[in-house]
Chain A
Amino acid sequence: MSSTPSPTPSDEERELSTNSSDLIDHETFDQLLEMDDDDEHDFSKSIVWNYFEQAETTFGSMDKALEDKDLEELSKLGHFLKGSSAAIGLTKVKASCEKMQHFGNKKDETGTNDITENDALKKISSLLEKVKDEYKEAETYLKNFYNERENP
């Protein structure tokens, strides 16, 4: 995948694990890795790549829904991506998606107080950029992770 020269596996491992604790929930992700057969990560990788695909599609839909000011759709999309992100263990993305779900329902980020439609759209538009960044971060991490496993 990535052609960037990687440090030695042990360094990489350490570096990633320190960096990624809030990015990824290792308990969840390890559970996926456990399901892999031996050293090959076909299964978890297929899941993760599947997730990437799904996430990219969802971001596209979110952009469009934001353009259409379709809050309800944004809430649904937030819920959807929240689910799959949680399944992989992508904590940050999941949290942001949950906020989007609330904003879409015209609630504040905890889902308790009402906010106006304009507020909601404003909040979502900045949130969407944030969640995309978080996703990119996760994607890079995961791709590196698999790249490194495959090419130690």
Chain B
Amino acid sequence: MSNTSGGPDFVKKLFKMLEDESYSDIVSWGINGDSFVVKEIDAFTKTILPRHFKHSNFASFVRQLNKYDFHKIRNSDDSNSPYGEQAWEFHHPKFQCDKRDQLDNIKRKTPANQKKLASNTVNDVSNMTHLTELQSQVNNLTKLQTNMNEHLHALSKSYHSVVQDLLNFQKNMVAQDQLMQNLVQYLVNLEAGNYNNNHHSSTSGENMTPFIPSDQAQKLINSYTEVARASFDQMNEISRRAQSIHHIANGEINNPCTSLSDSNSNTSNESLELLPLRSNLSDDNTGNINTSASSESVSPKNYISPQSNSAASQPAETINISNEYSHNIPDTMINLHPSDNGLTVLTVGHLTPRQSQSSSTPNLLPIAISSNNSNSSIPHIDNTSPQRASNTMRVHRSTFVPAWSVPPKVLLVDDDAVYQNIGSKFLQVFGCAIDIAVDGISAVNKMNFEKYDLVLMDIVLPNLDGVEATTRIRRFDPNTPIISMTSNTTKQECIKYLSHGMNDILAKPFTKANLLSMLERYCMHLKVMPNFQNIPRPLGAADRPITTIPNNNNLISSDLTDDNLSENWISNPLTIAGDNSYPFTVLSSDDYIQMVSNVINTSNSMNNGTRYLEDNDDQNQRSRKKPKFEVVE
């Protein structure tokens, strides 16, 4: 039998084996010739397998057959099996007794397929592992992402607080700078006053004051000599008054200025009237005349006086100092205004514009006396004399001013010069510090840089209207009261204003009374408290009631206010005391802030969200803003 065609050896061997008729009892083609039958497995295994396949393992043979895709034909019914019960019949579609040529097509089941299958399963398994891995990776990443987000959030939070701190520091710096400048200015003014006094009285002009070392003073003096000379005439006037004061009180003040207010007296000629009034004071206050005269306290006072013609300009870099000499009348003093708990301010003299303040400083002589109700033991006055610095405006006015502990800082937003002027005037009379913005954008900007106690906001404004400006301000400042000033007070409009974050509506044109009521409503927390012994003070002798300080009936405090000096700057209080028992005392900022926040926490009931500090509803726990600068003599 020639091996003409290919095909796997096993299949050929198998075919060859089946061709051998001698095995027909043991193994033969099936009846139909499309299968072969192993009839005697034992004989097949023992005799035929070794002869043809070189082994005697029937199971191996069957396995081989399976590999070539032969299938055992199972007899559904054993009794019908034509080959006996022990016979194994195998079938392959292409393995037929008369179709030898088809043997080539009998292929071993491709190992590749098997491998593929195997590898597929392996792949599946590895894919599964991979998937889980990826899944866990994703989970990890998500987790990481969340962590990062949290971290970022924390970072941005701390960034904000850092920025906040920076801003605070900046304010701090500005405040300190301001204080320093004021101190210097004050000393310089003393120098200048001395200089001029001496110059005037002895024409020597060589005397230096003991306040600052002469070499340093010389520098300052040199720079301010011009100033002093420029105001020489006024200084003469001051000197004259100084001498008259000295006659009365043997005071040591160089830039003397007495203060009195009598709303009934028309002190048109200040220098002439001061003297008799002063004498009256002495008479009424015989027991205290020496103390009250010698304890005239001096405090540099910086006041914002925005002018109509310079409303838009930011007078930030200059300081306007007016030396204010305020007298506090002890409780035994006559009560000039028994019905008022407020402060009566009489300003006398020429007020000169801020721009030329350096030369005007000596002229600015607001004179104030306050008399409080005898039952309200407030020897402490914050003088809030309105200083309208209009060009050589002459102010002779006696007005009632709410007793602010701090002058409220008001931002007036209006593009109308008439309203700017009227508003400023009213607010000044009410003892406020005023800033002006002429449109919505500058209002927003100012709110960004400054802290105000009240904003009066016109609605129709160029660039950005009042409602939109308020919306923007509210994004960073939810608290400062913003009052809509508008002539359009329909219900619908009012709702619009209020819904955009405005607190109240002041109909235009406003009256003095309306404005004042607004001011009192929203700046109530700045009013002087009637009973401030209860209030912690950042002095070294915090627990010592002020009223018991011997020879210190006059405690004048003034607040340094300027456009760039935040009113709520409260740390770093400084106490200057002439008394030995009151050395310079600087309480640490932390302590004071702590103290103040305690006060705030316990008296938050009326908090409008403005600067700080509010009184309790019973008004006994009134707290007050701490003056940044105090003089006790």
Contacts and interface: CB of A to CB of B under 8 A. Distances in A.
Interface string A69-89: 000000010011011101111
B416 A80 contact: yes
A54 B396 contact: no
B416 A40 contact: no
A78 B397 CA distance: 36
Contacts of B419: 83-84, 87
Given A46-B390, A86-B509, A35 B426 contact: yes
A51 B417 CA distance: 8
Contact of A50 (B418, B426, B429): B418
B290 interface: no
A83 B422 CA distance: 12
Nearest to A98: B487
Contact of A80 (B266, B421, B425, B460): B460
Interface in A35-84: 35, 37-38, 40, 42-43, 46-47, 50-51, 54, 76, 79-80, 82-84
Contact of A37 (B395, B418, B487): B395
B396 A83 contact: no
A50 B421 contact: yes
Contacts of B429: 35
B512 A31 contact: yes
Contact of B397 (A37, A47, A76, A84): A37
B517 to A, nearest CB: 15
Interface residues of B, number: 26
Contacts of A42: 390, 393-394
B268 A38 contact: yes
B13 interface: no
Given A31-B511, A76-B460, A86-B509, A46 B487 contact: no
Q: Which of A76, A84, A88, A89 has the most CB of B within 10 A?
A: A84
B308 interface: yes
A142 interface: no
A18 to B, nearest CB: 24
B509 A28 contact: yes
A37 B509 contact: no
A34 B509 CA distance: 16
A80 B439 CA distance: 13
Contact of B418 (A34, A43, A79, A88): A88
A101 to B, nearest CB: 10
Contacts of A35: 425-426, 429, 512
B509 A87 contact: yes
Contacts of A37: 393-397
A32 interface: yes
A79 B466 CA distance: 15
B508 interface: yes
Contacts of B416: 54, 80, 83-84, 87
Contacts of A28: 509, 511
Nearest to B486: A83
Nearest to A80: B416
Interface residues of A, number: 25
B487 A54 contact: no
Nearest to B421: A47
Contacts, number: 71
B492 to A, nearest CB: 13
Contact of B508 (A43, A47, A83, A88): A83
A50 B417 contact: yes
B418 A82 contact: no
A131 B288 CA distance: 64
A89 to B, nearest CB: 8
Contacts of A87: 416, 418-419, 422, 508-509
Nearest to B511: A31
Given A43-B393, A83-B487, A87-B508, A54 B418 contact: yes
Contact of A43 (B268, B415, B425): B425
Q: Which of B390, B487, B508 has the most CB of A within 10 A?
A: B487
Interface in A1-55: 28, 31-32, 34-35, 37-38, 40, 42-43, 46-47, 50-51, 54
B390 A82 contact: no
Q: Which of B396, B419, B422, B512 has the most CB of A within 10 A?
A: B422
Interface in B418-442: 418-419, 421-422, 425-426, 429
Q: Which of A28, A35, A38, A40 has the most CB of B within 10 A?
A: A35
Contacts of B397: 37-38
Interface string B390-420: 1001111100000000000000000111110
B308 A50 contact: yes
Nearest to A84: B418
B509 A83 contact: yes
Nearest to B487: A83
Contacts of A31: 511-512
A82 B426 CA distance: 20
Interface in B301-337: 308
Nearest to B268: A38
Contacts of B512: 31, 34-35
Contacts of A88: 418
Contacts of B460: 76, 79-80, 83
Contacts of B308: 46, 50
15 contacts: A34-B512, A35-B426, A37-B393, A37-B397, A38-B397, A42-B394, A50-B417, A54-B417, A80-B460, A83-B419, A83-B508, A84-B416, A87-B418, A87-B419, A87-B509
Interface of B: 266, 268, 308, 388, 390, 393-397, 415-419, 421-422, 425-426, 429, 460, 487, 508-509, 511-512
Q: Would you list the 10 A-B pairs with minimal beta carbon distance, nearest first?
A: A84-B418, A86-B509, A87-B509, A37-B396, A38-B396, A87-B418, A37-B397, A51-B418, A84-B416, A47-B421
Given A50-B418, A80-B415, 10 more contacts: A32-B422, A37-B393, A38-B266, A42-B394, A50-B421, A79-B487, A82-B487, A83-B419, A84-B417, A86-B487
